[in-house]
Structure 1
Amino acid sequence: MDATESLPSLETAQKLGLLPEEFDRIAEILGRRPNFTELSIFSVMWSEHCSYKNSIVWLKTLPRDSDRMLAKAGEENAGLVDIGDGLACSFKIESHNHPSALEPYQGAATGVGGINRDIFTMGARPIAQLNSLRFGNLELAKTKRLLRGVVKGIGDYGNAFGIPTVGGELFFDESYNTNPLVNAFSAGIVEVGKSAKATSFGVGNPVFIVGSATGKDGIHGATFASEDISAASTDKLPAVQVGDPFMEKLLLEATLEIIETGYVIGIQDMGAAGIICSTSEMSAKGEHGMIIDLDKVPTRQPNMAPFEILLSESQERMLVVIEKGKEHIIQGIFDKWDLNCAQIGEVTAPGENDLGRIHFYRYGELVADVPAYDLVLGGGAPQYNREYKEPAYIKEYAKFDPSNVDDLEADEIRDVAEHLLSHPNICSRKWVYEQYDSMVGTANRSTNAPSDAAVVRVKGPGLPATEKSIVITVDCNSRYVNANPRQGAMIAVAEACRNIVCSGGEPLAVTNNLNFGNPYVPEVYWQFVEAVQGMGEACRRFSTPVTGGNVSFYNQSSDDGPVFPTPTIGMLGLMENPAHRMTLNFKNEGDLIFLVGGSTNDIASSEYLYSYRNVTASPAPLFDFEDEWRVQEGIRTLIRNGWIQSAHDVSDGGLFTTLAESAMAGNVGFQVVTDDRHRLDAFLFGESQSRVIISVSPDQRQHVEGYLDDTVLPFKYLGTVTTGNFIIDGATILTVAEAKGLYDNALGNIMK
């Protein structure tokens, strides 16, 4: 390194997002002041996005082990869970919030590309995608622009890449006006023992960069994702990457082919922080070093500076370490797929006083010399436990008394029903999903038979034949979490489990996407801590360990403040037998409708209370683990015994919305009677937890009622499936045609 180079100051370090004490720590680690390239390296690797420095102490409290876990939580590109028959499922969820706020199309598209690369770098072929999207007030032109761009970005990339989008969730609230949330989930299948690892070892083993050339897009993208959105954020558009799904498709096939050779030591997607992230994390995990020649990196622009090459987040790239002497094999495979494949360095031995250093050269000069271990999460990267305190609004929300809200009269039911069925948080997502290809790959079992979770058959080239399906869902009611972060996070886990159980699956494991505001704000950090603790408690109770995921802080702006705390739960379930497949649609006229689980007078945080009554300050709905567990066990047994025709959990919009969705999906009606022991609005539109609507053929009634009586599980016979009308307490509320007209077209009409 040039000793005459002007070394950066503390002011420069702070502009790169480093704290003064971190700047001092870097000098201590290096034994000297860093040059600009080294300072840039530490700034991205110690950013919140890469180091999780403000979250890792709490993430470590989550349950992370089970007999099915085949990869340590958070230590590989994605989670890996044994699903039997010699097969494993790799799955993960990650955010692309900040890029999507500035450039929604590319922000969302590259989020889809990045999460799929995490899956196939595990050696797994992706078979299904989900997404969880949050936007602001849909009456705003800006929100419509963001929604339109994000949906098109997801659809265009996923459709071209050839992986079906099989479900997801969409939610609107003014807290997301400036900062939308775009969380992408992917799952893939690999044979046990054939997965790849994100590691590097073996002195002299060659290091390759493969895939696209490296450009200047996405430089300091990890740092950008670790700060609030502001008016100046548009100046950072170069921090938004540009994706190429056709290139990624080639990269998928080439990557799986080289992994199949057995010569790959380690492989990692170049996501956040690009080359420096992959080289440092792989080296630290393998406790070796690397020598990297940046001159050999294929670039899209001439004369790129060392820090630009190292920090670029250009898409569709991998770092691969293979066995020495097998260079011609990897080169031949990538030549066949017409992709860049350049050896840029080799693995070196650890030093006497460290676990491995990375030396970067440019034009023959050493431009950076950094210890891998000190850069990475779980190594020497800083870890903080920030100050936190309960926000004042929590106690105010807890004062809510439903008796201060007048109950509905019977003649008001139609007004509420029309309001909810056409509300953006309840209505059909048809306008969205029609832009996605849900059938490519022919594995989706949910397209023409809707259920609470997506059911995807396990199949793929070279995989052993099986009747298994994975059952996957993404869930989080962020209004509940905002009202009570601990309880809201518990409910998110419980609902994910309930959706999988109602679809005929068995919950196995969780990946999470924790979306919060600025962690340096004590009230925001309190929300984060409470939500993580609630999630951990729920995951332990449901035996669904956390395999990994993503933390996204700084989702806030000076205008709108922080977004609702949104710990999105991505859950994997398993269906061993296709006969257990359960759908939500009512089947036959005359079938009996039951509510399983107990209702209460709870209207807190319901869509009805929030948007129809305009009461925005109320606690989360009541929740009890024992009630939830018993309901899920009951539904599981009813499905396994073949006693029910349909199952649909009661969630957003309450019991009426659940009945309407089941009826509309079957193009039938219903005739039910309410429970005069409860408020009318609470029974029909409240969002009491741990409830499921089932339909039962008359010849199975004795079995169902006998089982529910024997297990002392609360249930109520509501009425029957009919044709044509939605009838409540003898009064026709809507025809099925009217309901479908509102429900199916509301979002599309708004977006027009």
Structure 2
Amino acid sequence: MSAPKFNIDTVANAAATPHEEQPWAELGLKQDEYQDIVKLLGRRPSAAELAMYSVMWSEHCSYKSSKIHLKKFGAKLDEQMKKDMMVGIGENAGVTDLGDGWAVTFKVESHNHPSFVEPYQGAATGIGGIVRDIISMGARPVAVMDPLRFGAIDHPDTARLVHGIVSGIGGYGNSLGLPNIGGETVFDPIYQANPLVNALAVGVLRHEDLRLANASGVGNRVVLFGARTGGDGIGGASVLASESFDDTKPSKRPAVQVGDPFAEKVLIECCLELFKGELVEGIQDLGAAGISCATSELASNGEGGMQVELTSVLLRDPTLTPGEILMSESQERMMAVVTPEKAAAFEAVMAKWDVEYSWLGEVTDTGRLIITWDGETIVDVDPRTVAHDGPTYDRPQQRPARQDALQADTFRSSTAGASLPETGLELRAALLELMASPNLCDKSWITNQYDRYVGGNTALAMPDDAGVVRVDEATGMGVGLATDANGRYAYLDPYAGAQLALAESYRNVATTGAVPMAVTDCLNFGSPEDPEVMWQFVQAIDGLSDACLALQVPVTGGNVSLYNQTGTTAIHPTPVVGVLGRFDDVARRTPSGWRAEHDGQAIYLLGTTSDELDGSEFANVRGHLGGLPPKVDLDGEKLLGQLLVSGSRDGMFDAAHDLSEGGLAAALTEMVLRHGVGARVNLGPLLARDGVDAFTALFSESQGRALVSLPRSEEERFVAMAGVRGYPAVRVGIVDAEADALEFQDLFTVTVDELSQANTGTLAKHFG
């Protein structure tokens, strides 16, 4: 079949017509960026070259506003942090050595803008894209997670987004047969027109299965396989996520990609068989920027160059122009490099799995990426200028003028904090109000739409503090993962806010008994062209990189999502931090709630409680945001983590739960509701030791705290273990299976049914 006939803008024609007008602005390029392309090429770009540069130099693909700051993660790595890091930042996903020949790869990315435009497909293809990153490393995907943020729960548009996004995540992940083991769901008006849909995937592999994507070996063949290329998603994430939504600017809302999870499931098995048979030199997934990205990155990472015939691409839409084919972000596609002698074996695997493929070209020694259309050259570039040497901006930063006044506006000094609950009845009402609030209510309306146990290796999942997956059936080795962020904290202090996100995720992983090992992050911010947003961004990177060094957990990869802004209104800075930890045996994991058979067990609070209500969920339900977030004690977090892991390994704890949003009140409630088993609590020793009142004890969000329940026979050993480390521990109650209530001695009692009714009805009320 001959190639469709277009008025092809060849490289020769581009050289001969230097003054031809080109739509660089419509493709998202700035004028000076277009001039830089002309300077690099020594001529105007052809239409296909312009398409390639526009998507690859977009903010989403090139990280042009962030890459100089992201280098801090690598600069703050010491030798101990590098010890278990097999692959770090810069590849499709980071890889960490688990020991015994096993490795794990994980990464979190954003699909925010596409999910606002088309919630179901935007979220679904976010899952599909992050899973393909995991496949390309040679790993089998084993689980996904979904940190989500929506606007006000009662806003008319929120239901559209919640229904579509949750259905998209569940529909795609469930069809792939991947358990969704955790995440977060936060509601805040600041995310109304900019919901955050961050997707995390984790995969496991043997050391010898690790693959890196590059085009090496002159004469090796380049092949595109998987779904056909269509018109959906042309410039999708690459352009859409590189501009804020603003009606005064040209539209940056191209078609959102359409996903087919069943095609991706076949692609997973196909790729793993190719890797197992050593039939490919490397595989690159096609996500943002599509063929533009795959060809330029493979060639740039390799030793020479690449030549590709674009008319060989299998199309769903024969009317696509060469530029559109290069920009299309159609899903479920991979590109591989294959030696000629293995081509027949490669084709046999394709036939076995009934996967379409097309041989596009070969690796060359020219140092150039040359793309032809029906034999005529339409792209002739140095691939590094496309994939790696794009624009780099050191954008202006300015601390917001409002920041001093914002931080001085503490909750205690505000109108909202002028009258706080004091009596038992008032505290009881406050607890029920808090647990019914959108951010602390039960999220099972969402998580029940996900399959959390498919595959048979899930040891813990939502609502436990971290998801836990078994890696090795023989030994029980596994991993624990958690993601956390608090945009309210980061808005008050972005440096501390990023550290608090890491501390909470680290604490959640340690609470289950896993040893924290590695970090992935998704940095969600407003427009980098706003100096105040840029200040927030740099502060967050500084805070996170310093905290990673202090806790000895390296960032192995992640994602930056900018332009989460509508007009002049930016989202709160939201650095989502994922932490991965290792289990020797997942059978030793510690769940987040006690059971009836734990009746009479002692409940201990680890850590110290201070008056820290600024940015808290209690302040949030009272409509206040100001002051300074809770203090971060990274040395304390490290000590707490060691205590939690040691107690779990020794089988000392039967339940453990970190304290974060909602403080002690929320943590106790969640432990009671986990299995519907009550507790009797005496705050007296805590009030006396820390010098706080009952309200502060219940709702403060002081960090570095966790609750544990343990048999009375273990109390002496536990107290001694905490004492040796110098970490505060106070007995605050006992598990009471008979009471069917959460009782706060001398204050109030609330039944399990009352707690459950308050906690479980909120999402159903709003979303049906």
1:575 and 2:583 are equivalent in the alignment: yes
Deviation at 1:359, TM superposition (A): 0.9
Q: 1:229 aligns with which of 242, 245, 261?
A: 245
1:424 and 2:438 are equivalent in the alignment: yes
1:95 and 2:110 are equivalent in the alignment: yes
Structure 1 pair 362–398 and aligned structure 2 pair: CA distance change class (3 A): same
Larger deviation: 573-582 or 320-329? 573-582
**Counterpart residue number, 1:321:** 337
Larger deviation: 402-411 or 569-578? 402-411
Q: 1:59 aligns with which of 42, 61, 70?
A: 70
Letter in 2 for 1:476: A
Question: 2: CA distance between counterparts of 1:323 and 1:33?
Answer: 35
Question: 1: CA distance between counterparts of 2:410 and 2:628?
Answer: 10
**Counterpart residue number, 2:467:** 454
Letter in 2 for 1:586: W
**Counterpart residue number, 1:107:** 122
1:671 and 2:686 are equivalent in the alignment: no
1:510 and 2:504 are equivalent in the alignment: no
Q: 2:55 aligns with which of 12, 22, 44?
A: 44
Deviation at 1:301, TM superposition (A): 0.9
Map 1:672-687 → 2, pairs under 5 A: 672-674=681-683, 675=687, 677-687=691-701
**Counterpart residue number, 1:468:** 477
2:482 is paired with a residue whose SS is strand
**Counterpart residue number, 1:565:** 573
**Counterpart residue number, 1:345:** 361
Q: 1:692 aligns with which of 684, 691, 706?
A: 706
Q: Is the 8 A contact 2:11 2:46 kept in 1?
A: no
Structure 1 pair 401–450 and aligned structure 2 pair: CA distance change class (3 A): closer
**Counterpart residue number, 2:490:** 481
**Counterpart residue number, 2:175:** 160
Question: 2: CA distance between counterparts of 1:422 and 1:231?
Answer: 36
Q: 2:156 aligns with which of 141, 161, 166?
A: 141
Q: Is the 8 A contact 2:411 2:626 kept in 1?
A: no
Letter in 2 for 1:389: Q
Deviation at 1:580, TM superposition (A): 2.9
Deviation at 1:633, TM superposition (A): 2.2
Q: Is the 8 A contact 2:606 2:706 kept in 1?
A: yes
Question: 1: CA distance between counterparts of 2:48 and 2:646?
Answer: 60
Deviation at 1:106, TM superposition (A): 0.1
**Counterpart residue number, 2:733:** 719
Deviation at 1:3, TM superposition (A): 4.4
5+ residue gaps, structure 1, are 351-355
Deviation at 1:26, TM superposition (A): 1.0
Per-residue CA deviations over 1:15-69 (Å, capped at 9, x if unaligned) read 3222222222111111111122211211111111111010000101014551111
Question: 1: CA distance between counterparts of 2:319 and 2:639?
Answer: 64
Letter in 2 for 1:604: D
1:607 and 2:617 are equivalent in the alignment: yes
Letter in 2 for 1:324: P
Q: Is the 8 A contact 1:443 1:457 kept in 2?
A: yes
2:45 is paired with a residue whose SS is coil
1:495 is paired with a residue whose SS is helix
Deviation at 1:325, TM superposition (A): 2.0
Question: 2: CA distance between counterparts of 1:8 and 1:692?
Answer: 67
Q: 2:552 aligns with which of 543, 546, 557?
A: 543
**Counterpart residue number, 2:207:** 192
**Counterpart residue number, 2:502:** 493
**Counterpart residue number, 2:607:** 597
Q: Is the 8 A contact 1:155 1:436 kept in 2?
A: yes
Question: 2: CA distance between counterparts of 1:20 and 1:467?
Answer: 57
TM-score (norm 1): 0.95
Q: Is the 8 A contact 1:413 1:733 kept in 2?
A: no
Letter in 2 for 1:322: V
Per-residue CA deviations over 1:278-310 (Å, capped at 9, x if unaligned) read 110111111321111011000011132110111
1:571 is paired with a residue whose SS is strand
Q: 1:708 aligns with which of 714, 717, 722?
A: 722
Question: 2: CA distance between counterparts of 1:727 and 1:596?
Answer: 20
Q: Is the 8 A contact 1:120 1:252 kept in 2?
A: yes
1:70 is paired with a residue whose SS is strand
Structure 1 pair 211–540 and aligned structure 2 pair: CA distance change class (3 A): same
Structure 1 pair 35–92 and aligned structure 2 pair: CA distance change class (3 A): same
Letter in 2 for 1:197: L
Q: Is the 8 A contact 2:480 2:514 kept in 1?
A: yes
Q: 2:627 aligns with which of 618, 624, 645?
A: 618
Deviation at 1:707, TM superposition (A): 2.5
Map 1:51-450 → 2, pairs under 5 A: 51-63=62-74, 66-74=82-90, 76-221=91-236, 222-231=238-247, 238-350=254-366, 356-377=367-388, 380-404=389-413, 405-406=417-418, 407-410=420-423, 411-447=425-461
Q: 2:32 aligns with which of 9, 21, 25?
A: 21
Q: Is the 8 A contact 2:466 2:509 kept in 1?
A: yes
Letter in 2 for 1:315: Q
Letter in 2 for 1:188: G
5+ residue gaps, structure 2, are 1-9
Identity %: 40
Structure 1 pair 234–200 and aligned structure 2 pair: CA distance change class (3 A): same
Q: Is the 8 A contact 2:109 2:559 kept in 1?
A: yes
Larger deviation: 498-507 or 393-402? 393-402
TM-score (norm 2): 0.93
2:82 is paired with a residue whose SS is coil
Q: Is the 8 A contact 2:512 2:645 kept in 1?
A: no
Q: Is the 8 A contact 1:288 1:348 kept in 2?
A: yes
2:547 is paired with a residue whose SS is helix
Structure 1 pair 219–233 and aligned structure 2 pair: CA distance change class (3 A): farther
Per-residue CA deviations over 1:609-668 (Å, capped at 9, x if unaligned) read 121x32222221122222222222222232233322211000111101100101111311
**Counterpart residue number, 1:746:** 762
Larger deviation: 676-685 or 491-500? 676-685
Deviation at 1:729, TM superposition (A): 2.9
Q: Is the 8 A contact 1:505 1:580 kept in 2?
A: no
2:460 is paired with a residue whose SS is coil
Larger deviation: 125-134 or 303-312? 303-312
Larger deviation: 301-310 or 511-520? 301-310
Question: 2: CA distance between counterparts of 1:622 and 1:465?
Answer: 43
Question: 1: CA distance between counterparts of 2:674 and 2:517?
Answer: 28
**Counterpart residue number, 1:353:** none
Q: Is the 8 A contact 1:671 1:730 kept in 2?
A: no
Q: Is the 8 A contact 1:725 1:732 kept in 2?
A: no
Letter in 2 for 1:599: T
